[in-house]
Amino acid sequence: MLFAAVAALVVIIAVVLLIVISSVTVPAPKQLTLESSANTQILTWKGKAKKISYQIFRKNGDTDFELVGQVEEGGDSSFVSSDLTPATLYEYQIIAQKGHGEKVRESKPKTISAYTLPETISGATAITMSKDSLTVSWTNAQPVNGYELKYSTEQDLSSTEPIAFTPDDAVTNSNTGALNYTVPNLTVGTTYYFSMRSFCGEDVYSEWSDVFSGTVTQAVDMTGIDINKPMVALTFDDGPDSGPITDRILTALTSAGGHATFFQLGQLCERYPDVTKRIVDQGSQIACHTYDHVHMGDAVTTDDIIRANDAIEAACGIRPNAFRAPGGTSTDLIFSTCTSQGQAIYHWSVDTRDWSSRDADSVVTEIQNNASDGAIILMHNIYDSTADAVERIVPWLVEQGYQLVTVDQLIQAKTGQPPVPGTEYHSAP
Ligand SMILES: [Zn+2]
């Protein structure tokens, strides 16, 4: 009997206490969640719709909590935390409040934390920088813990397993600050598709990047070239001639251990395939200067370029990866055609005006006055006077310490990578 009375009393006291406590305390928000993107986090929670307001505090790193917002009504609530730094850990504290002025009562703080997502990688490229490989290059401002890269010869990468690597596995380009990661053992001439993402924390991933692609090109043969010594690229347009002029130029180059680039017409390569082959056999670079030189500058058509590439390839087995427009202009059409044909676009930094003077002395003087490290020198392999000039200027250039290189070699030496299709070069810095 006594036991029952004590028990009843205990229950009554407990109930009374519970009623008193619940009228004094303010319930903390329940079912607190945090959803993150790169620059925004959304907090949601369930509360009691009884004139309760919520104060939201935020911090990252070692800073103090800072009041960033107040949600007035109770019930199911949310708060958007915006203008955040990607790949950063933010911590939140939410306190429920009831009453006004001095009578305000607060709940215990409820905390939650999460990383914002790393920024989605954009503008990444893939080009050949070393043999049988593509080097993926991207910029990423945030410190992240790692990357995942998917690649395939198929454009659809949805079922491709990614490879993972750390920032330490990537190489930073000291000029641009871009990060480089090389995918080895690929097939020359094949196009590969890529997508990548980064992660911070343990497993907080950015979105996958848009798919980008790169075609494995032949790495530039740099045999015998010292990239730290001066060099010039002699270039010859409008040929080949029937043989005598081009052969004299090739002989002069061979005796100096040098090479040049020949921007030739498709039509003449068709007519003189043996001369075209001798250019390639000498180790010089065959390049495209339209099919028949009829359309100049703005008037150059896609067909002028592609038909020439076909004719040159048929003549010597090499499809040119360099283009120069008659007149030296570039247009949107030239950019897009050369990009799709895998061709860089070349202008020049030294114009010998050999076509105008037809005078060897004048050509020699132009080059002696204007040659400098990285120069691209314009001539034409269709004039006897140009062959005369080449026979004199080649030994002079060698004497001055210049290496005679192709435009591919010049760009590889001076930029550290092969020429990029669709890109214009006037000289090498
Ligand atoms: Zn021309």
The DSSP secondary structure of 241-262, one letter per residue, reads -SSHHHHHHHHHHHHTT---EE
Buried b (16+ CB within 10 A) or exposed e, 110-133: bebebbbbbbbbeebbbbbbeeeb
Q: How far is the CA of 2 from the centre of ligand 1 (A)?
A: 117
Buried/exposed code over 335-346 (b: 16+ C-beta within 10 A; e: otherwise)? eebbeebbbbbb
Q: Is the pLDDT of residue 22 over 60?
A: no
- Find which of 66-75, 137-146, 268-277 is predicted with most confidence, using mean pLDDT: 268-277
CA pair distance 233, 226, nearest whole angstrom: 14
Distance from C-alpha of 285 to C-alpha of 259, rounded to nearest angstrom: 8
Q: pLDDT of 227-250, one tens digit each?
A: 889 999 999 999 999 999 999 999
CA 414 to centroid of ligand 1, rounded, Å: 26
Cα 415 to averaged position of ligand 1 atoms, centre (Å): 27
- Tell me the average pLDDT across 97-121: 89
Q: Point out the residues that are catalytic.
A: 237, 380
How far apart, in whole angstroms, are the C-alpha atoms of residue 339 and residue 323? 11
d(CA 113, CA 115): 7
By mean pLDDT, which of 11-15, 231-235, 275-279, 344-348 is the weakest? 11-15
According to the model, what pLDDT value does residue 26 have? Answer: 84
What phi, psi does 367 have (nearest 5°)?
-70, -40
- Ligand 1 centroid from CA 382, angstroms: 10
- Tokens standing for residue 429: 């810095």
142 CB-near residues (< 8 Å, 6+ apart):
85, 86, 87, 88, 118, 119, 198, 200
Most confident range, picked from 13-17, 176-180, 256-260: 256-260
Ligand 1 centroid to 328 CA: how many Å?
8
Residues 6+ apart with CB under 8 A from 69: 55, 56, 79, 81
At the fourth CATH level, which superfamily is domain 25-115? Immunoglobulins (2.60.40.10)
Position 18 scores a pLDDT of: 57
Q: How far is the CA of 326 from the centre of ligand 1 (A)?
A: 4
Over residues 296-320, the pLDDT tens digits come to 989 999 999 999 999 999 999 999 9
Report helix, strand and coil shares of the chain as percent, to nearest 5: 30, 30, 45
User: What's the CATH fold of domain 231-425?
Assistant: TIM Barrel (3.20.20)
Give tens-digit pLDDT for 48-57: 767 788 999 9
Report CA(175)–ligand 1 centroid distance (Å): 35
Residue 292 C-alpha to ligand 1 middle, in angstroms?
10
Kindly list the protein residues that place their beta carbon closer than 5 angstroms to ligand 1, a single-atom ion.
Answer: 237-238, 326
Do 25-115 and 231-425 show the same overall fold?
Answer: no
pLDDT in the model for residue 114? 95
pLDDT range class, residue 129, cuts 50, 70, 90: confident
**Percent of the chain at pLDDT exceeding 90:** 72
Interval 376-398 mean pLDDT: 98
What is the distance in A from the centroid of ligand 1 to the CA of 320? 16
pLDDT of residue 323: 97
Cα(427) to centroid(ligand 1), Å? 18
Give the number of other CB atoms < 10 A from CB of residue 36.
18
The yes-or-no verdict on residue 365 having pLDDT over 60 is yes
Which pLDDT score, from 0 to 100, does residue 144 have? 92
Q: What per-residue confidence (pLDDT) applies to 197? A: 96
SS3 274: helix
How much is the average pLDDT of 274-300?
96
Domain ranges of the chain: 25-115, 125-215, 231-425
Q: Which residue has the higher pLDDT, 291 or 201?
A: 291
Mean pLDDT throughout 174-178?
73
Q: What is the mean pLDDT of the chain?
A: 91
Percent of the chain with pLDDT over 70: 94
Which residues of 289-402 form beta strands (DSSP E)? 322-323, 344-346, 350-351, 376-380
- CB 234, CB 261: distance < 8 Å: yes
Angle at which helix 384-399 crosses helix 244-255, to 10 degrees, equals 10
The CATH homologous superfamily of the domain defined by 125-215: Immunoglobulins (2.60.40.10)
Does the pLDDT value for residue 215 go beyond 90? no
Q: Distance from the CA of 238 to the center of ligand 1, in angstroms?
A: 5
What pLDDT score does 21 carry?
53
